[in-house]
Amino acid sequence: MNYDFKDLAKHLGVSVGTISRVLAGRGDAARISKATQERIQTAAEKMGVQPNELARSLRTKKTRTIGLLVPDIANPFFASIAHYVEQRARSAGYSVLITESQELVEKEGEAGRLLFNRRVDGLIVAPVGDESSHLEELRLKGLPIVQVDRVFQSLQITAVVTDNFNAARQAVRHLIERGHRQIACLQGKAGGSVNQERVRGYLAALAEAGVPFKEKWLIGGSHSLESGHFEVTKMLNQKSRPTALLAISNMLALGTLKAARDLNLQIPTDLALVSFDDHPWTVLLSPSLTTMAQSVEDIGTLAFNELLAAIQATKPPSVKTIVLPAHLIVRESS
């Protein structure tokens, strides 16, 4: 049971080198005779001999494995990205080691180090927090990295991101066109690039329309549904309420829906809502959500493509930031 190249070599009376060449598909290149190739292939099949990828990796210094480091794989946004990354990876012959940072910088650092020690060929990361030294360290050790979603501009690391500034700006413009002037913004964890850009877009749209910004209407501080629920409830319980809200992520939109439902407020009548991300159920919510859809497929696919290019490059490729547009989908909530 479970034979290796050596067993097969002994069995056929050839050297392990020959086995290696043939089973690695380099038989022709190494000018192994058709006959031996045939013999080896059939015997390998019959004995169930398959290469130990571990040994192969140790020798070749290539694992054909990449790491994917996201805050939470149960979050549909990251799950979708993982899906597309996995698809592209697989079709390019790569496997994916997935790890969650759980929104914690320390976990992210730890996980990154482990992934490096496992010698992944590259890393796709949706960074959390505002500390990036651990990523810089990995980059300096020669690990190809691509950032997705969130990004550190300070880093010399390629990124694939949505144009969050313009996405938020467009979302708020839409609300303004609908006649709203009292527009709140429910943000996630402050500090992250996504959050920053979206808030910036929110402010820009207000300014452009001459709508004054009220500090008390910039609420929130975490990306969880519960946080959104809590913060929106608090805000809607005040005497002076906004007539519209920009929720900066999918989970925050769900929290908002819950809060409105609890308080018996109608969306969009009492509060118009625009959110981010589109999922199969977004259209089936009550009310269906107006949203700025990011193309998770593009993000995942392009991220892997960029990573693969970096892995295969002989010299460090130029650092780019790929910015993808989001598009507005108007539904009942606004």
Partner DNA sequence: GTGAAAGCGCTAACAT
Partner DNA sequence: ATGTTAGCGCTTTCAC
Q: Could you say which of a second copy, DNA, none residue 183 binds, taking C-beta under 5 to 8 angstroms by partner kind?
A: none
Cα separation values, 113 from 98, 116, 134, 137, Å: 13, 5, 8, 9
- The single-letter DSSP state of residue 146 is E
Backbone angles phi, psi at 143, to 5 degrees: -85, 120
Report the site for DNA in 26-45 (rule: CB under 7 A).
26, 30-33, 35-37
Query: CA-CA distances (angstroms) from residue 287 to 122, 175, 249?
Result: 42, 16, 17
State the DSSP code for 232.
H
Task: Decide if residue 311 touches a second copy (CB under 8 A).
Answer: no
Min CB(111)–DNA separation in Å = 19
Q: How many residues bind DNA (CB under 7 A)?
A: 31
Q: Does 13 bind DNA (CB under 7 A)?
A: yes
The residues in 279-308 that bind a second copy, with binding defined as CB under 8 A, are 280-281, 283-288
Question: 29 contacts which partner out of a second copy, DNA, none, CB within 5 to 8 A by kind?
Answer: none
What amino acid occupies position 155? L
Sign for the pseudo-dihedral over CA of 217, 326, 78, 299: negative
Classify 229 as helix, strand or coil. helix
Among 33, 50, 237, 321, binds a second copy (CB under 8 A): 50
DSSP 222: -
Residues within window 45-74 making contact with DNA, judged by CB under 7 A: 49, 51-52, 55-56, 58-61
**Measuring CA to CA, which residue among 139, 133, 127 is closest to residue 196?**
127
> Under a CB-based contact definition with an 8 Å cutoff, are residues 290 and 330 in contact?
yes
Give 318: exposed, middle or buried? Use CB within 10 Å, 0-12, 13-18, 19+.
Answer: exposed
Q: Which stretch binds a second copy (CB under 8 A): 138-146, 202-210, 233-241, 320-328?
A: 138-146
CA separation for the pair 236, 32 (Å, rounded): 76
Q: CB of residue 254 vs DNA: minimum separation in angstroms?
A: 46
Q: State yes or no: residue 17 binds DNA (CB under 7 A).
A: yes
Query: What residues numbered 287-326 form the site for DNA, per CB under 7 A?
Result: none
Q: What are phi and psi of 315, to 5 degrees?
A: -115, 150
User: Which amino acid, 80?
Assistant: S
**Pick from 9, 19, 96, 205: which binds a second copy (CB under 8 A)?**
96
Q: Is 105 one of the binding residues for a second copy (CB under 8 A)?
A: no
Residues at the contact surface with a second copy, assessed by CB under 8 A:
1-2, 48, 50-55, 57-58, 63, 65, 72-74, 76, 79-80, 82-83, 86-87, 90, 95-100, 111, 113-119, 140-142, 225, 251, 254, 257-258, 261, 280-281, 283-288
Residues at the contact surface with DNA, assessed by CB under 7 A:
4-6, 13-21, 23-24, 26, 30-33, 35-37, 49, 51-52, 55-56, 58-61
